[in-house]
Structure 1
């Protein structure tokens, strides 16, 4: 799936602008951003539910606007706000969608029902958010689509079912499906994806692998020195910022390589060091807070 300079405006209001993404078959791609960042707008454009103001989408070799009906036969779509027929039971809902898709072999569908413990006997209007979400997942995956477009897919699910969902994603990708996963849940994305993009206020902030972003994320380093005065003055090193300093002890945030800090600390007779692993959550909060990339360049 490719998004090329994709732009959507709502009158004078910008939805998204110049979104460029290339997502490969067999890849689980994460799309992160705070609420209102433009994730759902991008997803609706990707599956042809709304038309772009500018730019283009290619999904499974098709244009979602021109080839929408043909494309959606091979798409599994779970919207962020799942709307189902309130009076139908879960079973009736699944049967109706199977008929609409022409799905006659329901073996895989029934396996998914079992895996997620989907409630089939009660009307949808009586189901909890989590139980409606289970039905939504079955509906999205049951026809083994080549493209899965999932907007906040684990909303309302308990941790065990979130893990089951992660396994299902891995199985689908291994079978060759392309997965476009939108979320504001960092933990969900870290478990599931190979690459991800961050969007803020309708514009792209960065695209990278999870490993690449982790390497760029700030690390917390605490150093203890034999000479109490040696704890002072380390924040002049590029990529090092001060968190707290006391006589003989300093806590620092480090972005980039640790080498320069370690060399300077060794010259000062460091006695002990504790380093906390990189925290992507902090990196994302930085992106969300000021809309700048990790080099300080404005992304708007």
Structure 2
């Protein structure tokens, strides 16, 4: 069942169009990765979802309610973590977490304490003393201690060290296992690849691709390293072959997924001694869309 629907969302700031015709759908119990470079429109989209910005055109529905006119009702069922957390400098981290939870009418003491321990967080210090990573922990602990149906996470691991990123990923998987939904906005592709069921790629305010990782990988190239008994000939005559590098009887190259079968059949004629195939990553997919293109981020909106 669809939990969030964004249809033909457009947002203009004067003459500048930050978002144009954006479509997003998130189902119950799904982790949706929302990726794109800084300035592509991720945060602007999220501000519209949160009812902070009003759409210029299009429709945004969360739980069947309008994100702008029904923002108060929608917020009762969502948890949000921004990429840059600002806190009250004279309150302690623990006091801020308690405040966020009380605003939701809950205390969640056991869950809160469990998360404080998992994130190795000291809640007794004043917020003005916290590093960026610790400020991020405050928001993450408060969000995951809440009972929410949709978690909107905008670059949530910004400032976290690798160990804490792992803890964050465990928390995301935990809420998914409880049937909750997550919108994860990120430019850290390995993070998205580990966690997300479906991915949407945004570029210059437009969605350029949406689908499961398997559906999107048809656009990517597989990395091949092969050693043969005889020199491989005529490989550069095949379409879909890229970046051929020769080292004696060893060849390394990239091949488009749809041409892989033809290429392997051709290569096998020369007596394969060793063959290594590395599956494409989301990074390969991402670079394919952005390579050799002017990002056009000057004056863009994040």
Q: Normalised by the size of structure 2, how large is the TM-score?
A: 0.89
User: CA offsets per residue over residues 101-156 of structure 1, 9 Å max, x none?
Assistant: 22244332222222212221111111011111110101222221111000011111
* Contact 2:108/2:145 (<8 A) preserved: no
Question: In structure 1, what is the equivalent of residue 300 of structure 2?
Answer: none
Q: Which runs of 4+ in 1 moved over 4 A?
A: none
Pair 39,290 (structure 1): closer, same or farther in 2 beyond 3 Å? farther
1:109 is aligned to 112
Equivalent residue for 2:20, pick from 17, 20, 29: 17
RMSD: 1.9
- Match status 1:73 vs 2:89: no
Aligned counterparts of 2:233 and 2:251: Cα–Cα separation in 1: 7
Q: Given that residues 32 and 199 in structure 1 are in contact (C-alpha distance below 8 angstroms), is that contact kept between their aligned partners in structure 2?
A: yes
Aligned to 1:284: 286
Alignment-derived partner of residue 297 in structure 1: none
Counterpart contact for 1:220–1:251, Cα < 8 Å? yes
| Secondary structure, counterpart of 2:170 in structure 1 | helix
Distance 2:291 2:47 in 1: 26
Q: Is the 8 A contact 1:219 1:255 kept in 2?
A: yes
Contact 2:36 2:187 (8 Å CA) reproduced: yes
Bigger RCO of structures 1 and 2 (CA < 8 A, at least 6 apart)? 2
For this pair of structures, how many residues does the alignment match?
290
Aligned partners of 2:23 and 2:293: how far apart in 1? 17
Q: Any gaps of 5 or more consecutive residues in structure 1? A: 293-300
Alignment partner, residue 249 of structure 2: 248
Note the C-alpha offset of 1:247: 5.0
Q: Is 2:263 the partner of 1:261?
A: yes
Structure 2 residue aligned with 1:232: 233
Q: Distance in 1 between matches of 2:276 and 2:108?
A: 57
Q: Deviations over 1:239-297 (max 9, x none)?
A: 222422355333221111421012212334444333223233122112122569xxxxx
Distance 1:240 1:250 in 2: 12
Instruction: Summarize the alignment of residues 162-181 of structure 1 with structure 2, pairs less than 5 Å apart.
Output: 162-181=165-184
Distance change in 2, residues 1:107/1:272 (3 Å): closer
**Which position in structure 2 is the counterpart of 1:50?**
53
**Contact 1:223/1:271 (CA < 8 Å) preserved in 2?**
yes
Structure 2 match to 1:295: none
Structure 1 counterpart of 2:132: 129
